[in-house]
Amino acid sequence: MLKGFRQFVLRGNVVDLAVAVVMGAAFGAVISSLVTNILTPLIAAIAGKPDFSAFTATLNGGVIQYGLFLNALIAFVMVALAVYFFIVAPTNALAARMKRGEAPPDPTTRQCPECLSQVPIAARRCAQCTSVLPQASGVKP
């Protein structure tokens, strides 16, 4: 029983997931600090007010604190922007730079001229409309 548990825990997916959770928590703290300590004061310098928590409305005696919602919404948008511009965009640019110069892979499918569905490159008939397909170039009969 312990042997099975040890195999489960030491399997690559579980270890990778544990590392991802720890790194995600640490990265979340860094991004939250970036938003709280750098981006929010910049917005305050431009807009004049960094905190909207005092904004409220009263409806039939109930207080609606829409300012707190605005704070959470702005924080979410700033975190999303920070993640995109500091992580996603540079990673995509790096991946595109690494793929530069590679030959595109050979196609494995082609389009049926009758119904425009995708069929295997070596197919002689379309599986959707059963029309006879012209012989693909480079494919032996």
91 alpha carbon, distance to own chain's centre:
12
- Please give the CATH architecture assigned to the domain spanning 2-99: Orthogonal Bundle (1.10)
> Which pLDDT value is given to residue 89?
92
- Give domain limits for the chain: 2-99, 106-141
pTM (2 d.p.): 0.51
Q: pLDDT tens for residues 41-59?
A: 787 788 777 677 788 999 9
Dihedral angle at the C-alpha atoms of 41, 47, 49, 54, nearest 10 degrees?
A: -130
Residue 19 pLDDT exceeds 70: yes
> Which pLDDT value is given to residue 101?
82
Average pLDDT over residues 13-34: 81
What own/partner pairs with CB < 8 Å and gap ≥ 24 does 102-111 have? 110/136
